[in-house]
């Protein structure tokens, strides 16, 4: 089942689904639905009915999964905090911020997708982070808080000194990836740089003069988790069977993708109603050696510690396990 909601409507419409007696688990969960190659495991879970299958095997008859189209990150976060949404996928910095804001009541279920983010420019004078100036406009999904914005701050801290982490913030502008791609291609509003991701990066690199400056992998020193799945401690503790049905379904979806990536690409195109890309286009992205669907967190702790150092969050986790529920401990990671 799928529907579209705003933050307030989500809370009002789903509050009954998220309330349950202390003696019984929920028989319905709400998952924030998102489209994009990085969210492919969730799309596989929905199309294959994996959560429902696992719930039935655990003795939970007639278990229902509602896939909610949420109107933006704010509504998704409000839904998690209010228990109107039980599971959501978001960037690692967003999860870290929620973990800090709620004093650990929102945590990561697992990592889901690891992939590169690419800082590109059309400015011939820019050869490294140090070369950006007031002549440049760098598009990021959200200034100061998105994964790309945090990576830019981390790169600035390395290039100019820790206290200068915000030196490039005034050069950033908030644009969605599709809008940023158009702006970068057409030089709209002076946008001549973009902290991009696939498949937009591949499109933008065809623009004359476009070149790569750095990546999140280079900034963090290796492959880095881009998308995590989050849930509340309240739901986790009160609904162990439902939580396990979801977690196992996510693990199974990742295994399905990794065992037949062409079939996964075909499923993506159909589920996302993507008319711009071909099966081969999507297959090329998800088969790249730097692109991975995995439960294992990578460089999440390093990101959190940096966010604490610059004051974006108030408390720093001591270990990556502080940020995730214990079920994901066997995945290891950092």
Q: Within 102-146, where are the H helices?
A: none
Going by pLDDT thresholds of 50, 70 and 90, the confidence category of residue 301 is very high
What integer pLDDT is reported at residue 264 of this predicted model? 98
| Residue 273: partners with Cβ closer than 8 Å, 6 or more residues away | none
What integer pLDDT is reported at residue 36 of this predicted model? 83
Query: Is 12 strand, coil or helix?
Result: helix
pLDDT tens readout for residues 255-280: 999 999 999 999 999 998 888 889 99
Cα torsion through 153, 150, 125, 139, rounded to 10: -140
- Summarize the confidence of residues 55-77 as an average pLDDT: 88
Please give the structure tokens belonging to residue 247: 């977690």
What integer pLDDT is reported at residue 21 of this predicted model? 40
CA 329 – CA 334 distance, rounded (Å):
11
Query: Is 150 strand, coil or helix?
Result: helix
What integer pLDDT is reported at residue 330 of this predicted model? 83
Going by pLDDT thresholds of 50, 70 and 90, the confidence category of residue 11 is low
Domain with CATH 3.40.190.10 in the chain: 2-115+224-331
Closest CA to 104 of 299, 312, 298, 325: 325
| Residue 97: partners with Cβ closer than 8 Å, 6 or more residues away | 145, 307, 312, 313
- Summarize the confidence of residues 181-194 as an average pLDDT: 94
Average pLDDT of the chain to the nearest whole number: 91
pLDDT at 329 over 60: yes
pLDDT at 20 over 50: no
The dihedrals phi and psi of 215, each to the nearest 5 degrees, come to -135, 165
CA 304 – CA 282 distance, rounded (Å):
31
Sign, Cα dihedral of 204, 208, 213, 217: positive
pLDDT at 9 over 60: no
- Summarize the confidence of residues 58-75 as an average pLDDT: 87
> How many percent of the chain have pLDDT more than 90?
79
pTM of the shown model: 0.87
Contact assessment for residue 303 and residue 220, using Cβ atoms and an 8 Å cutoff = yes
CATH of 118-196, one of 1.10.3210, 3.30.1360, 3.40.190, 2.60.40: 3.40.190
CA 313 – CA 305 distance, rounded (Å):
9
Q: What CATH number was assigned to the domain covering residues 2-115+224-331?
A: 3.40.190.10
pLDDT at 249 over 50: yes
């Amino acid at each position: 089942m799928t529907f579209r909601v705003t933050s307030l409507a989500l809370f009002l419409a789903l509050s009954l689904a998220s309330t349950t007696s202390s003696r019984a688990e929920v028989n319905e969960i709400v998952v924030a639905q998102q489209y994009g190659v990085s969210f492919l495991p969730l799309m596989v879970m929905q199309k294959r009915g994996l959560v429902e299958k696992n719930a039935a095997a655990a003795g939970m008859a007639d278990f229902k999964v509602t896939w909610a189209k949420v109107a933006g990150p704010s509504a998704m976060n409000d839904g998690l905090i209010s228990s109107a949404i039980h599971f959501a996928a978001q960037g690692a910095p967003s999860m870290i911020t929620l973990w800090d804001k709620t004093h650990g009541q929102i945590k990561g279920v697992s990592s889901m997708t690891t992939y590169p983010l690419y800082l590109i420019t059309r400015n011939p004078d820019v050869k490294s982070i140090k070369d950006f100036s007031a002549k440049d406009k760098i598009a990021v999904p959200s200034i100061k808080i998105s994964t790309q914005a945090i990576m830019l701050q981390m790169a600035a801290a390395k290039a100019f000194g820790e206290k200068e982490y915000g030196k490039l913030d005034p050069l950033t502008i908030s644009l969605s990836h599709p809008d940023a791609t158009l702006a970068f291609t057409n030089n709209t509003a002076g946008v001549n740089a973009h902290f991009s991701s696939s498949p937009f990066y591949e499109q933008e690199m065809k623009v004359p003069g476009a070149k790569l400056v750095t990546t999140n992998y280079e900034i963090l020193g290796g492959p880095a988790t881009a998308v995590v799945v989050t849930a509340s401690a309240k739901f986790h503790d009160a609904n162990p069977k439902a939580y396990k049905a979801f977690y196992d379904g996510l693990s199974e979806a990742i295994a399905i993708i990794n065992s037949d990536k062409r079939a996964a690409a075909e499923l993506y195109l159909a589920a996302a109603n993507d008319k711009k890309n071909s099966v081969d286009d999507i297959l090329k992205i998800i088969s790249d050696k730097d692109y991975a669907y995995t439960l294992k967190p990578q460089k999440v702790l390093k990101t959190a510690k940096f966010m604490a150092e610059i004051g974006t969050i108030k408390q720093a986790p001591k270990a990556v396990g502080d940020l995730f529920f214990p079920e994901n401990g066997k995945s290891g990671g950092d």
